[in-house]
Amino acid sequence: MKDSMPSPTEAAAISVRGAVKHYGAVRAVDGVDLEIGSGEVFGLIGHNGAGKSTLFKMMLGLVRATAGDIRIHGAPVRGSGFRAVRRAIGYLPENVVLYDNLTGLETLRYFARLKGAPLAHCPAVLERVGLTHAAGRAVREYSKGMRQRLGFAQALLGRPQVLFLDEPTTGLDPEAIRNFYATLRELRADGVTMIVTSHILAELQERVDRLAILSGGRVQALGSVQGLREQMALPLRMELATTEAGAAAVRAALDTLPVSGHRWQGALFDGQFPREAKMAVLAALAGLGSAIQDFRIHEPSLEDVFFGFGH
Ligand SMILES: Nc1ncnc2c1ncn2[C@@H]1O[C@H](COP(=O)(O)OP(=O)(O)OP(=O)(O)O)[C@@H](O)[C@H]1O
């Protein structure tokens, strides 16, 4: 897990400096700086209209920046040298456009031709997203999740080194989501750099190396999930169950600890304490021995972090 900017020796796959995109009075992206290292899985989160898709399109060279410098593998995205780099990029847009009359395989072959990727790879890519069984069926007959997987397949054509995935798990069932992230892990092991947006924060929190929270077109927070938790000094939550005989001793001990927002429900305790008190709390609990039947400590979720930043 990396928490800081990549070091100068570690080539940044994506470098964004002072990126600005204004649509008239709308500041869709309003001064973004990001360095994303090679092989990093980077999450981009933010509420609707925060600027995620616009920033994506700017990084892909699809939207002209009002100001700023964006490079992929060192090449400015709207510069003449970007054509060659573009071949190494895969993009799954938020709403992938598919032709209903083409079959899954025909669709991939169509995208492969557009991208200059070998047609011979299409069946293997379909296999990778679990669509081999539907290769010969018209896209019109595909379910929402199958369409999304076909969209992911076209992003994988040509073995991209950088993948932009805009809400890639929309419409996927739990098994397909799991398979999708397993594929990302394989790609990561091959050194592929990935940027993923999602509104499903629980899904991202264990799966990204770092992430940025975007708000009003600006990066509001940047770091690993753990780094952001610590940066925000969010409390840890503890749930605890006492034995009947031990209840009084546990209550007395907890009274001496910096726990807050707590409540008792019979023998069950639920409360919060500051991270820096963790070892003191654990030591106090260990001292209570068999008076405690069970306990759990929860780290704040990415959702807690997100809302902690005032969203
Ligand atoms: N082509 C455009 N013309 C005018 N305004 C635009 C255009 N594209 C985006 N915007 C505006 O820019 C802002 C950022 O939009 P963007 O689509 O980047 O947000 P987002 O974070 O991707 O949102 P969502 O989570 O809903 O996909 C919004 O206020 C949006 O209305």
Going by pLDDT thresholds of 50, 70 and 90, the confidence category of residue 1 is very low
User: What's the whole-number mean pLDDT along residues 100-104?
Assistant: 96
Domain limit, last residue, from 212, 230, 248: 230
Of 3-7, 33-37, 55-59, 274-278, minimum mean pLDDT range: 3-7
Question: What is the full DSSP assignment across the chain?
Answer: ---SPPPTTS-EEEEEEEEEEEETTEEEEEEEEEEEETT-EEEEE-STTSSHHHHHHHHTTSS--SEEEEEETTEETTSTTHHHHHTTEEEE-SS----TTSBHHHHHHHHHHHHT--GGGHHHHHHHTT-GGGTTSBGGG--HHHHHHHHHHHHHTT--SEEEEESTTTT--HHHHHHHHHHHHHHHHTT-EEEEE-S-HHHHTTT-SEEEEEETTEEEEEE-HHHHHHHHTPPEEEEEEE-TTTHHHHHHHHHTS--EEEEEETTEEEEEE-GGGHHHHHHHHHHHGGGEEEEEEEPPPHHHHHHHTT-
* Structural domain that includes position 83: 12-230
pLDDT at 311: 61
Q: Indicate whether residue 64 lines ligand 1 (CB < 6 A).
A: no
Q: Are residues 67 and 133 in the same domain?
A: yes
CATH number, position 108: 3.40.50.300
Q: Are residues 137 and 277 in the same domain?
A: no
User: What's the whole-number mean pLDDT along residues 174-190?
Assistant: 92
Q: How many domains does the chain have?
A: 2
Assigned domain for 147 exists: yes
Assigned domain for 219 exists: yes
The chain-wide mean pLDDT, for the chain, equals 91
Assigned domain for 1 exists: no
Q: Indicate whether residue 49 lines ligand 1 (CB < 6 A).
A: yes
Q: Indicate whether residue 93 lines ligand 1 (CB < 6 A).
A: no
pTM of the predicted model, to two decimals?
0.87
pLDDT at 112: 96
Ligand 1 centroid, distance to 23 Cα (angstroms): 9
User: What's the whole-number mean pLDDT along residues 240-253?
Assistant: 89
Pocket test of ligand 1: the residue of 20, 21, 47, 53 to mutate, having most ligand atoms within 8 Å of its CB, is 53
Over 80: is that where the pLDDT of 273 sits? yes
Q: Are residues 94 and 242 in the same domain?
A: no
Assigned domain for 2 exists: no
Q: Are residues 169 and 264 in the same domain?
A: no
Per-residue pLDDT of 215-238, as tens digits, reads 999 999 999 999 999 888 889 999
pLDDT at 11: 66
User: What's the whole-number mean pLDDT along residues 114-118?
Assistant: 92
Q: Are residues 156 and 291 in the same domain?
A: no
Per-residue pLDDT of 6-44, as tens digits, reads 444 356 899 999 999 999 999 999 999 999 999 999 999
CATH number, position 240: 3.30.70.100
Q: Are residues 46 and 177 in the same domain?
A: yes
Assigned domain for 7 exists: no
Over 80: is that where the pLDDT of 247 sits? yes
Going by pLDDT thresholds of 50, 70 and 90, the confidence category of residue 124 is very high
Q: Whose CA is nearest to atom 5 of ligand 1?
A: 23
Q: Are residues 126 and 263 in the same domain?
A: no
User: What's the whole-number mean pLDDT along residues 52-56?
Assistant: 93
Pocket test of ligand 1: the residue of 54, 64, 170 to mutate, having most ligand atoms within 8 Å of its CB, is 54
The phi, psi pair for 119, rounded to 5°, reads -65, -30
C-alpha span between 78 and 81 (Å, rounded):
8
Assigned domain for 155 exists: yes
- Report percent pLDDT > 90 for the chain: 69
